[in-house]
């Protein structure tokens, strides 16, 4: 079973609309980290946010906001007043512990967001 | 400060050849991870190195190898290239002294095409 599920494969919105990207995760770790990355057409993965499992406080950064809910194992990402430059593939990722106290990132399949003028 | 750098940006090889990809992490970062991203999919973990030691390995064949140098830069080698190795290879740095994969910062990637 997938450990990070991004159920929305593609989303298309018109500029200035709000859009929410969903992420549901599964882990047995009590301490874990969740991430969102943006991958524009250029290909480089851009770090957006990291949230640890003990901090359920929602976060806002400009037009971006994140809603972390442990009760539903979700870490959703909302873009307010979307812009064309927001068009990209967005990945949710989970960092969980493996043998030897190492951690590895497990990635969702990504949501392709198209913001149309 | 410079971000993660990778070279080359693009590479075209033929089946059976060998390729070496290079990565320099952000200054102060001691961990380098390599990922393969096939078009339309998420990154797949290949290796992680920390302080020149391998800390993790993904489900890739032995044709894939890597190493980390004293200056924390890293090389990924792929032998006996197959058509299926065509992908974007991403390098990420992180682990500011802890050895743990916390936040990873990615380079621009190397686009490998195998003909």
Q: Could you tell me if A62 lies within 8 Å of chain B, comparing CB atoms?
A: no
Of A37, A47, A95, the CB nearest to B101: A95
Tell me the pLDDT of chain B averaged across its residues: 90
| Burial (CB count within 10 angstroms: exposed 0-12, middle 13-18, buried 19+), residue A73 | middle
Q: Decide if A114 contacts A10 (C-beta within 8 A).
A: yes
**Segments of chain A with pLDDT less than 50:** none
Could you give the CA distance from residue A59 to residue A27 in angstroms, rounded to a whole number? 22
Q: Could you tell me if A48 lies within 8 Å of chain B, comparing CB atoms?
A: no
Provide the b/e sequence for A33-46 (b: ≥16 CB within 10 Å): bbbbbbbeeebbbe
| Position B96 pLDDT exceeds 80 | no
Of A102, A105, A110, the CB nearest to B104: A105
| Position B100 pLDDT exceeds 70 | no
Q: Tell me how close the Cα of B4 comes to any Cα of chain A, in angstroms.
A: 10
Q: Write the pLDDT tens digit of every residue in B31-58.
A: 899 999 998 888 999 998 988 888 888 8
| Burial (CB count within 10 angstroms: exposed 0-12, middle 13-18, buried 19+), residue A97 | middle
């Amino acid at each position: 079973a997938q450990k990070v599920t991004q159920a929305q494969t593609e989303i298309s919105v018109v500029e200035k609309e709000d859009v929410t990207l969903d992420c549901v995760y599964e882990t047995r770790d009590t301490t874990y980290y969740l991430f969102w990355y943006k991958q524009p057409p250029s290909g480089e993965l851009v770090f957006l946010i990291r949230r640890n499992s003990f901090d359920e406080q929602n976060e806002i950064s400009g037009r971006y906001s994140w809603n972390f809910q442990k009760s539903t194992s979700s870490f959703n990402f909302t873009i307010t007043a979307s812009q064309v430059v927001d068009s990209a593939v967005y990945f949710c990722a989970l960092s969980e512990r493996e043998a030897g106290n190492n951690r590895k990132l497990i990635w969702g399949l990504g949501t392709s967001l198209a913001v149309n003028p | 400060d410079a971000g993660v750098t990778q070279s080359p940006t693009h590479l075209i090889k033929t089946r059976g050849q060998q390729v070496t990809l290079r990565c320099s992490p952000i200054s102060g970062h001691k961990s380098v991870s390599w990922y393969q991203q096939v078009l339309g999919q998420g990154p797949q973990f290949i290796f992680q190195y920390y302080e020149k030691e391998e800390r993790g390995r993904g489900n890739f064949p032995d044709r894939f190898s890597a190493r980390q140098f004293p200056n924390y830069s890293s090389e990924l080698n792929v032998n006996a290239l197959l058509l299926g190795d065509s992908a974007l290879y991403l390098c990420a740095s992180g682990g500011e002294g802890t050895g743990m994969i916390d936040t990873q910062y990615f380079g621009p990637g190397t686009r490998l095409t195998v003909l």
